[in-house]
Structure 1
Amino acid sequence: MKARQAIQKLTAYPVSPFSRKGKIRLDLNESTRGCSPAVLKAISNISPEELNAYPDYGELLTQLSAYYQINEDQILLTNGADDGIRAVMQTFVEANDTVVLAHPTFGMIPIHARVVGASLHEVPYSMDLQFPVDGYLKALASAPTLVTIVRPDSPTGALISRESFCQIMEKAGNAIVLLDETYHHFCGESFVDLLSVYPNLLILQSFSKAWGLAGLRLGVVMGNPALITEIRKVNPPFSANTLAVKAARATLNDTSFLQQVVEDVAVQKQYLLKKMVQLNLKAVDTSANFILVKVGDSAREVQEQLLERKILVKSLDSIPLLRGYLRVAIGTREELDIFLQALQEILPPEALLFDMDGVLVDVSCSYREAIRKTASYFLGREVSVEEVENYKRKVGYNNDWDATETIIRENGGIASREDIIDHFQRLYLGNSWDGLIREEKWLADNSLLKGLAQRFKLGIVTGRPREEALFVLRLNKVLELFETVICMEDVPGRGKPHPDGI
Structure 2
Amino acid sequence: MSIFKSHISQMGAYKPPLEDRDNHQHLLLDFNERTLPVSPAIKKALIDFINDDQLQVYPAYGDITQKIADYCGVKPDQVMTTNGSDQGIDLIIRSASREGGEAIIPGPTFAMYHQCANIENLNIIEPAYSRENGFPKQAVINAITDKTRLIVLANPNNPCGTPIARDDILEIAKAAPGAAILVDECYFEYTRQTVCDVVQQYPNLLVTRTFSKTWGLPSVRLGYIISSKDNINALLNVRGPYDVNQLAVVAINAALTNPEYTQEYVKEVLGVSKPMLEEFLDTRNIEYWPSVANYVWVFFDSPSLVEQTLKKANILVRPKMDHHSRLGLRISLGNKQQTVHLIDTLTSII
Instruction: Give the match for residue 496 of structure 1.
Output: none
Instruction: Give the match for residue 192 of structure 1.
Output: 196
1:280 paired residue among 285, 289, 301: 285
Would you say 1:41 and 2:44 are equivalent positions? yes
Contact 1:273–1:285, Cα closer than 8 Å, also in 2: no
SS in 2 for 1:123: coil
CA distance in 1, matches of 2:348, 2:202: 52
Contact 1:39–1:251, Cα closer than 8 Å, also in 2: yes
Pairs within 5 Å for 1:10-89: 10-13=11-14, 14-22=16-24, 23-46=26-49, 47-89=51-93
One-letter code aligned to 2:138:
D
Contact 2:160–2:290, Cα closer than 8 Å, also in 1: no
Higher percent of residues as helix: 1
Q: CA deviation at 1:174?
A: 1.5
Contact 2:103–2:125, Cα closer than 8 Å, also in 1: yes
CA distance in 2, matches of 1:303, 1:206: 28
Instruction: Give the match for residue 334 of structure 2.
Output: 331
Q: Cα 1:209–1:164, aligned 2, differ >3 Å: closer, same or farther? A: same
Unpaired runs of at least 5, structure 2: none
SS in 1 for 2:297: strand
- Higher mean C-alpha displacement, 150-159 vs 134-143: 134-143
Would you say 1:264 and 2:268 are equivalent positions? yes
Contact 1:129–1:158, Cα closer than 8 Å, also in 2: no
Contact 2:94–2:120, Cα closer than 8 Å, also in 1: yes
**Which digits, 9 at most, give the CA deviation of each residue in 1:318-354, with x for residues without a partner?**
x34462311100112222222222222333xxxxxxx
Give the number of aligned pairs: 345
Pairs within 5 Å for 1:366-445: none
SS in 2 for 1:120: strand
Unpaired runs of at least 5, structure 1: 348-502
Q: CA deviation at 1:34?
A: 2.4
Q: CA deviation at 1:247?
A: 0.7
One-letter code aligned to 1:328:
I
SS in 1 for 2:213: coil
CA distance in 2, matches of 1:264, 1:322: 33
**Which digits, 9 at most, give the CA deviation of each residue in 1:81-127, with x for residues without a partner?**
11111111121212111111111111100111001111112112234
Instruction: Give the match for residue 126 of structure 2.
Output: 122
Q: Cα 1:333–1:164, aligned 2, differ >3 Å: closer, same or farther? A: same
One-letter code aligned to 2:207:
I
Q: Max radius of gyration: which structure?
A: 1
One-letter code aligned to 1:122:
E
RMSD: 1.8
Contact 1:129–1:156, Cα closer than 8 Å, also in 2: no
One-letter code aligned to 1:111:
Q
**Which digits, 9 at most, give the CA deviation of each residue in 1:335-388, with x for residues without a partner?**
2222222222333xxxxxxxxxxxxxxxxxxxxxxxxxxxxxxxxxxxxxxxxx
Q: Cα 1:196–1:138, aligned 2, differ >3 Å: closer, same or farther? A: same
Instruction: Give the match for residue 6 of structure 2.
Output: 5
Q: CA deviation at 1:301?
A: 2.9
Would you say 1:341 and 2:349 are equivalent positions? no
Percent identity (aligned) = 29
Higher RCO, 1 vs 2 (CA within 8 Å, ≥6 residues apart): 2
TM superposition score normalised by structure 1: 0.66
Instruction: Give the match for residue 224 of structure 1.
Output: 228
Q: CA deviation at 1:168?
A: 1.0
CA distance in 1, matches of 2:342, 2:12: 30
TM superposition score normalised by structure 2: 0.93
Pairs within 5 Å for 1:172-321: 172-266=176-270, 267-296=272-301, 298-317=302-321, 319-321=322-324
